Amino acid sequence: MSRVDDRQRQLIEEFAQIKTWEDRYKRVIAIGKELPSLPDEKKLEDYKVKGCQSQVWLLARLDEQNHIIFEADSDAMIVRGLVALLVKVYSGATPEEILNSAPTFIKEIGFEANLSPSRANGLLSMIRQMMYYATAFKAILANRA
């Protein structure tokens, strides 16, 4: 089991303990508050996730072990929580781990059915952007070899 799959399983177990959607949303917001804020100099148009109604910035870099480190921020509390969940799952993983692990936790937690259509679209846009970064870093690493 990859790190990403393990992290997804942990989130599924955590949210399974939370019975109401109101409490699940509160937990998502709390997770978002734990996400470090991006400094203004990183809140550039280039890092904005297209397809989100709220503003979402997503940056990625490779560390020395060739793991992708994601940084993110949003101006909306629930969306900030959602992007924080994605950072929790995918940051610190290799491009392969990210590309080989579908974000199943979203459906299993129930976000697919319980988010508004615009938030669900935004969440998919954030995932798509993370997969794009993983694909690009995989290509960069392949060219280095």
DSSP string, 75-107: SSHHHHHHHHHHHHHHTTB-HHHHHT---HHHH
Q: How far apart are CA 24 and CA 18, in angstroms?
A: 6
Respond yes or no: is residue 52 known to be catalytic: yes
Q: Which of 52, 68, 83, 134 is catalytic?
A: 52
Q: Which residue has the tokens 């177990």?
A: 13
How far out from the chain centre does Cα 39 lie?
18
Residues labelled as active-site residues: 52
